[in-house]
């Protein structure tokens, strides 16, 4: 099979358009100067040292990780449960339900953030980790829902019927057939949920208190106050963490399928 | 073992899905003897698949009951029925190997590892799948997948095997081969097979008995040859093969009148209101005046002649404008030309009266 040269050019251009700006970050974070001059006048790891040594930056990374680690499982649980529930409805109700649950994707984040802010202020959740976790869970649920729903819609219900006819109880059917087949959707949804939470800015900005500054908020504040290349270092960390999560999920999945096909007899 | 052991009885089974529509299954009675190969045959929407799903336990009946060996299964959940089932889509578990697919029902029954291994390897060998145990279903051909599905449904020795159009997704050649295998398999294992199909040739070839479904009822039931020769209803006559049909009336108990023709009815009983049917291969074509004495005949115009090798097909137009056909040995058809004015004729044993 020969690849069409034109297609090849288009693919490469799109890939470059998407990744090159990000790749500029990395040399900029390694600059020895104190401005965003490009190419950097000299090379140094000083901004990374700043990121680790400066309490504000270090705490921000920890808060972001903490919030993402807590909100991802919640989003996965809610989104997966909702997807299974929606599959039991008729086609029309399912569409309406999926639409309502995906609203956070469509409604501007600033509106959602304002609504959450007003509410959490009254409830005393503003400026708490719990408040951040809840807000970001709401934003992450649609990612899980869509990924799991797509997987469930491709699920052949005859598999459930077959497993039942072979003597498996409904619970066993779920454990041995339905769940393993839907799992890739759940994992993909979880990865997206983690990423969505880890680099979410608007809600985190409104709900911030000195104890709950996330990495994106810290970056935003740094830009507003006095931009120095620490922000490039922070961005690089963000990109690396997010890419690592997605890569690990993907590689882990490929390995697993390879191993599985060799199991049995 | 008493005579009822293993007998599958279906009594007054009804399924109504609600709403204003007619019942999907409108009262089915069926007794299936142990070891019988029975086919539920009918067009789509005739209720045959719904009936099978009620036997399997996937669809709860509105009323009626299902018994196996005298035990009522009607309210029993599907996983407690212990029937083997083969699906049109095969429904093999895509994330498991052939071995794990076939071992699945044995694991549910808590068999020991050694026992599972022995049973699975035995049946895999028997179905010509040896060496493929570690493959995933996606790495198998359609025919191999079908065999895995059969092996999985039989490995736990169920009393009854339910088959829902299991050959429907295969190409013609493979289909013919698997029909042969299925027939042999049935003779070997001696299980009760309940087979659903809309393919009448398949039903004729495989079955001990055929139940022809129409609009949620069994319209005709019997051994394939009996049902073909004496279909009982017009629907069965048309669904099971081809038929020349003449909707006339009885002028007297021994004379049937259709158009300007008067036909002898022969011996035996017939319904008061009936349609006369004759199979094309039992219809002969003669020049006017040459019809053998004692035969019934009707005027017809030859509209087409197709030589099919050993046989030839003569398409006919009857005086009422309806089309019909005669299938003759090609040696008898050499004289027939398109446009000929002929007599289509048959002897009395070739005709059957059916209810409209």
* pLDDT tens-digit readout, B133-142: 999 999 998 8
Query: Using the beta-carbon criterion (under 8 Å), do B77 and A164 form an inter-chain contact?
Result: yes
Query: Using the beta-carbon criterion (under 8 Å), do B108 and A156 form an inter-chain contact?
Result: no
The low-confidence residues of chain A, meaning pLDDT below 70, are 1-3, 256-265
And the tokens for B114?
A: 């050694």
Query: Using the beta-carbon criterion (under 8 Å), do B95 and A180 form an inter-chain contact?
Result: yes
Q: A181 touching B, CB under 8 A?
A: yes
Q: A264 touching B, CB under 8 A?
A: yes
pLDDT score at A262: 43
Per-residue HEC secondary structure of B85-142 comes to: EECCCCCCCCCCCHHHHHHHHHHHCCCCHHHHHHHHHHHHHHCCCCCCCCCCHHHCCH
Q: A5 touching B, CB under 8 A?
A: no
Query: Using the beta-carbon criterion (under 8 Å), do A167 and B105 form an inter-chain contact?
Result: yes
Is residue B210 pLDDT above 90, yes or no?
yes
Q: Give dist(CA B125, CA B148) in Å, integer.
A: 11
Dihedral sign for Cα atoms in the order B18, B23, B24, B25: positive
Q: A159 touching B, CB under 8 A?
A: yes
Average pLDDT, chain B: 89
- What number of other Cβ atoms are within 10 A of residue A241's Cβ? 19
* Inter-residue contact A137 to A203 (CB < 8 Å): no
Query: Using the beta-carbon criterion (under 8 Å), do A166 and B105 form an inter-chain contact?
Result: yes
Q: A166 touching B, CB under 8 A?
A: yes
Q: How many A/B residue pairs have CB atoms within 8 Å?
A: 85
Nearest to B275 by CA among B322, B241, B235: B235
Residues in B closer than 8 angstroms to A167, CB to CB, are 79-80, 82, 105, 108-109, 156
Query: Using the beta-carbon criterion (under 8 Å), do B84 and A165 form an inter-chain contact?
Result: yes
Q: Distance (Å) from the C-alpha of residue B309 to the closest C-alpha of chain A?
A: 44
And the tokens for A167?
A: 């003597």
Whose tokens are 């066993």? That residue is: A172
Query: Using the beta-carbon criterion (under 8 Å), do A263 and B156 form an inter-chain contact?
Result: no
Q: A165 touching B, CB under 8 A?
A: yes
Partners of B250 in beta bridges: B256
Question: Pick from A177, A181, A264: which is nearest to B133 by CB?
Answer: A264
pLDDT score at B3: 45
pLDDT score at A256: 67
* Inter-residue contact A148 to A186 (CB < 8 Å): yes
Query: Using the beta-carbon criterion (under 8 Å), do B87 and A161 form an inter-chain contact?
Result: yes
Q: Distance (Å) from the C-alpha of residue A13 to the closest C-alpha of chain B?
A: 35
Question: Pick from B81, B120, B136: which is nearest to A261 by CB?
Answer: B136
Share of chain B above pLDDT 90, in %: 55
Is residue B112 pLDDT above 90, yes or no?
yes
Query: Using the beta-carbon criterion (under 8 Å), do A165 and B56 form an inter-chain contact?
Result: yes
Strand order of the sheet with strand B249-252?
B249-252, B255-258, B261-264
Q: Which residue of B has its CA nearest to A181?
A: B95
pLDDT score at B255: 87
Q: A4 touching B, CB under 8 A?
A: no
Q: Distance (Å) from the C-alpha of residue B161 to the closest C-alpha of chain A?
A: 10
Q: A170 touching B, CB under 8 A?
A: yes
Q: Distance (Å) from the C-alpha of residue B254 to the closest C-alpha of chain A?
A: 54
Q: Give dist(CA B268, CA B291) in Å, integer.
A: 24
Query: Using the beta-carbon criterion (under 8 Å), do A159 and B109 form an inter-chain contact?
Result: no
Whose tokens are 């005859």? That residue is: A158
Q: Is the ipTM of this complex over 0.90?
A: no
Query: Using the beta-carbon criterion (under 8 Å), do B93 and A177 form an inter-chain contact?
Result: yes
Q: Which residue of A has its CA nearest to B158?
A: A166
Is residue B250 pLDDT above 70, yes or no?
yes
Query: Using the beta-carbon criterion (under 8 Å), do B91 and A162 form an inter-chain contact?
Result: yes
* Inter-residue contact B57 to B81 (CB < 8 Å): yes
pLDDT score at A258: 61
Is residue B116 pLDDT above 80, yes or no?
yes
First to last CA, chain A: 36
pLDDT score at A91: 84
Q: Is the pTM of this model over 0.95?
A: no
Q: Give dist(CA A57, CA B291) in Å, integer.
A: 107
* Inter-residue contact B51 to B213 (CB < 8 Å): yes
* Least confident segment among A94-103, B118-127, B149-158, B268-277: B268-277
Query: Using the beta-carbon criterion (under 8 Å), do A161 and B91 form an inter-chain contact?
Result: yes
pLDDT score at A264: 38
pLDDT score at A5: 86
Structural domains in chain A, CATH included, are 56-264 (1.10.3720.10)
Q: Which residue of A has its CA nearest to B153?
A: A166
Residues in B closer than 8 angstroms to A171, CB to CB, are none
Q: What is the pLDDT of residues A52-72, one digit of tens each?
A: 888 888 888 889 999 999 999
Q: What is the pLDDT of residues B49-73, one digit of tens each?
A: 999 999 999 999 999 999 998 889 9
Q: 3-class SS at B204? A: helix
Q: Give dist(CA B206, CA B212) in Å, integer.
A: 14
pLDDT score at B5: 63
């Amino acid at each position: 099979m020969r690849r069409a040269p034109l297609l090849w050019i288009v693919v490469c251009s799109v890939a470059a358009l998407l990744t090159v700006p990000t790749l500029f970050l990395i040399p900029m974070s390694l600059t020895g100067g104190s401005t965003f001059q490009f190419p950097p006048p000299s090379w140094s790891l000083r901004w990374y040292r700043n990121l680790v040594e400066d309490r504000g930056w270090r705490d921000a990374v920890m808060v972001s990780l903490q919030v993402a680690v807590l909100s991802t499982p919640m989003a996965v649980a809610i989104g997966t449960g909702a997807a299974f529930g929606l599959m039991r409805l008729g086609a029309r109700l399912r569409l309406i339900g999926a639409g309502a649950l995906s609203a956070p994707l469509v409604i501007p984040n600033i509106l959602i953030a304002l609504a959450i802010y007003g509410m959490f202020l009254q409830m005393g959740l503003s400026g708490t980790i719990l408040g951040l976790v809840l807000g970001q869970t709401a934003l992450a649920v649609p990612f899980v829902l869509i990924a799991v729903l797509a997987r469930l819609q491709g699920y052949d219900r005859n598999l459930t019927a077959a497993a039942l006819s072979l003597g498996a109880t409904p619970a066993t059917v779920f454990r041995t057939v339905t769940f393993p087949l839907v799992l890739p959707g759940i994992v993909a949804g979880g990865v997206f949920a983690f990423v969505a939470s880890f680099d979410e800015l608007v809600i985190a900005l409104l709900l911030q208190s000195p104890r709950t500054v996330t990495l994106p908020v810290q970056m935003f504040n740094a830009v507003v106050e006095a931009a120095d290349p620490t922000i490039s270092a922070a961005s690089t960390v963000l990109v690396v963490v997010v890419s690592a999560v997605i890569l690990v999920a993907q590689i882990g999945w490929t390995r697993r399928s390879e191993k599985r096909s060799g199991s049995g007899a | 073992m008493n005579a009822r052991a293993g007998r599958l009885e279906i009594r007054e089974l009804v399924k109504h899905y609600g709403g204003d529509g007619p019942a999907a299954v409108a009262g089915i009675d069926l007794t299936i003897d142990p070891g019988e190969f029975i086919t539920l045959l009918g067009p789509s929407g005739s209720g045959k698949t719904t009936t099978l799903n009620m036997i399997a336990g996937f669809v709860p009946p509105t009323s009626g009951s299902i018994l196996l060996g005298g035990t009522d299964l009607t309210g029993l959940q599907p996983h407690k029925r212990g029937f083997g089932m083969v699906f049109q889509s095969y429904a093999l578990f895509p994330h498991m190997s052939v071995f794990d697919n076939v071992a699945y029902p044995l694991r549910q029954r808590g068999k020991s590892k050694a026992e599972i291994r022995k049973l699975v390897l035995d049946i895999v060998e028997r179905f010509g799948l040896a060496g493929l145990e570690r493959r995933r279903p996606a790495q198998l051909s359609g025919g191999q997948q079908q065999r895995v599905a059969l092996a999985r449904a039989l490995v736990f020795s169920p009393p009854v095997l339910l088959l829902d159009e299991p050959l429907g997704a295969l190409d013609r050649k493979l289909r013919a081969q698997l029909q042969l295998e299925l027939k042999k398999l049935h003779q070997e294992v001696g299980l009760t097979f309940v087979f659903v199909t809309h393919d009448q040739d398949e039903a004729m070839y495989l079955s001990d008995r055929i139940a022809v479904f129409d609009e949620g009822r069994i319209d005709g039931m019997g051994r394939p040859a009996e049902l073909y020769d004496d279909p009982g209803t017009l629907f069965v006559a048309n669904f099971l093969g081809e038929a020349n049909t003449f909707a006339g009336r009885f002028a007297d108990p021994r004379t049937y009148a259709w158009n300007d023709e008067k036909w002898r009815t022969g011996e035996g009983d017939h319904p008061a209101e009936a349609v006369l049917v004759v199979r094309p291969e039992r219809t002969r074509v003669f020049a006017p005046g040459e019809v053998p004495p004692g035969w019934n005949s009707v005027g017809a115009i030859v509209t087409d002649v197709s030589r099919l090798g050993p046989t030839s097909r003569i398409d006919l137009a009857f005086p009422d404008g309806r089309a019909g056909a005669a299938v003759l040995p090609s040696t008898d058809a050499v004289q027939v030309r398109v446009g000929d004015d002929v007599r289509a004729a048959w002897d009395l044993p070739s005709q059957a009266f059916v209810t409209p």
